[in-house]
Structure 1
Amino acid sequence: MSQLLRTHIEAICPLSDEEFAHILSHFKLRKLKKHAFLVQEGEYVRQEYFVLKGCLKAYIADPETGNEFIYQFGAEDWWMTGREAFFKETKATINIDCLEDCEVLGITLEDRNKLGADLWKYEHFLQVKANLGYISLQKRLQLMIMGTAKDRYEHFIRQYRQYPQLFSRIPKTHIASYLGVTRETLSRLYRR
């Protein structure tokens, strides 16, 4: 399973066996059951997680209605955490829960910073991933503000094309929430 993390990092920076062993020594494996919380609103977020197995959703919940507003999915080869709470060392304002049984590798902020200081390759990897994440977020915001439901749906399909099985793993009501449309609108888009 750790090979997935190595492949992920080496897509940006090649590593020696010793360098990867040093990186891996800072991570801890965590297994979660379906519906378990990885991050829960109101709790401190102590780790950032690399997904080895399973699928998760990140969302905020309306305290009055209980409606969920999903803003991210995470599956194998992706990173998940409550970013603000993790980096500011505050309580989470979001939830991340498991849509399936999951296995993740967690790293603390202290270890993340230590690795970045110890190994320039890891620091470079983090910088590239942060930039790519920012670009993805910017595109998502543009689509939510200016795009039509059809634009958002087509972007979702393109974005997750490299994970074709993912679309079938996520309930359609969750996809509709992510796209900011009703389940009925998603059904119409899906039939096209």
Structure 2
Amino acid sequence: MENLRAHFEEIIDLTDDEFAYILSHFTIKKLKKHQFLIQKDDSVNHTYWVKKGLLKASYTDEKEKEHIIQFAMENWWITDYQAYFTHTKAIFNVDCLENTELLCLSYENREKLCKEMQKVEHFFRKKANSGFVALQKRMISLLSDNIKERYEVLLAQYPNLFQRVSKTIIASYIGVSRESLSRLGSK
């Protein structure tokens, strides 16, 4: 659990007792490659911190085309945030691209920790702010960058991702067909 503590301590300082108390609000979940963590129309009661493994969140449109919204690897958080915060049904599927171990934090426990510990509320606010910034950058990139630019940004930001997932998954994430991505590689 040292990794989770280090993750929190990137933003806030914690005593041993404070971290033990925070940790007591988490549960552990292990999933195999190809298992779903969340499926469309599920109730979503937890946010998940990735201890080990790799997941993807995706949206399937009315034409049955999958659009990858987010990856989550070690030390990242993932859930269907709309469903989690508004207590509505999931619109995303979240599935494991590798065998995965997660620490699960229920909505109720997150709210309890934030209410009891200003430090924890500060941590989650800073994490949310970083997430909003990353989402804006991704949206702007999808709207304005060409395929090559999107590919190069992803490669620069997450080089080890390319060893962990197929080119088909990379293509879906940057919003192009596998064929378009292959043509890019052959140039």
Query: Where on the TM-score scale, by shorter chain, does this alignment land: which range?
Result: over 0.9
The one-letter amino acid of 1:42's match is D
SS in 2 for 1:93: coil
2:40 aligns to what SS in structure 1?
Answer: coil
Match of 1:34, SS state, is: coil
Q: Distance in 2 between matches of 1:159 and 1:86?
A: 27
Deviations 1:133-184 (A, max 9, x none): 0000000000111111112111111221xxx432111111011000011112
SS in 2 for 1:140: helix
Match of 2:151 in 1: 153
Q: Distance in 1 between matches of 2:33 and 2:162?
A: 17
Map of 2:2 onto structure 1: 3
Amino acid in the other structure paired with 1:113: E
Letter in 2 for 1:111: N
Judged with a 3 Å threshold, the aligned counterparts in structure 2 of structure 1 residues 191 and 27 are, in CA distance, closer, same or farther, namely farther
Query: Partners in 2 of 1:60 and 1:141 — Cα distance?
Result: 15
Distance in 1 separating the partners of 2:111 and 2:25: 11
Q: Is the 8 A contact 1:153 1:189 kept in 2?
A: no
Note if 1:53 corresponds to 2:52. Answer: yes
Q: Aligned letter for 2:184? A: L
Write the distance in 2 (CA, Å) between the matches of 1:189 and 1:115: 47
**Equivalent residue for 1:68?**
66
Unaligned 5+ segments in structure 2 are none
**Runs of 4+ with deviation above 3 angstroms:** 188-192
Q: Among 158, 166, 170, which residue is 1:171 paired with? A: 166
> What is the alpha-carbon distance in structure 1 between the residues aligned to residue 57 and residue 108 of structure 2?
23
Please state how far the C-alpha of 1:188 moved relative to its aligned partner: 3.5
**What is the aligned partner in structure 2 of residue 88 from structure 1?**
86
In structure 1, how many angstroms separate the alpha carbons of the residues matched to 2:93 and 2:119? 31
SS in 2 for 1:156: helix
How far apart are residue 189 of structure 1 and its match?
Answer: 3.3
Return the alpha-carbon distance in structure 2 between the equivalents of residues 13 and 184 of structure 1. Answer: 45
How does the TM-score come out when normalised to structure 2?
Answer: 0.96
- Give me the whole-angstrom Cα distance separating, in 2, the residues matched to 1:191 and 1:21: 52
Alignment of 1:16-165 (within 5 A): 16-64=15-63, 66-160=64-158, 164-165=159-160
TM-score, scaled to structure 1: 0.93
Residue 186 (structure 1) aligned with residue 181 (structure 2): yes
CA shift at 1:67, angstroms?
2.2
Structure 1 contact 51–76 (Cα < 8 Å) conserved: yes
C-alpha distance in 2 between matches for 1:189 and 1:23: 46
The alignment partner of 2:101 has SS state of strand
SS at match of 1:96: strand
Is there any run of 5+ residues in structure 1 with no aligned partner, and where? Answer: none
Q: Which amino acid aligns with 2:67?
A: F
The CA deviation at 1:191 is 5.0
Letter in 1 for 2:150: R
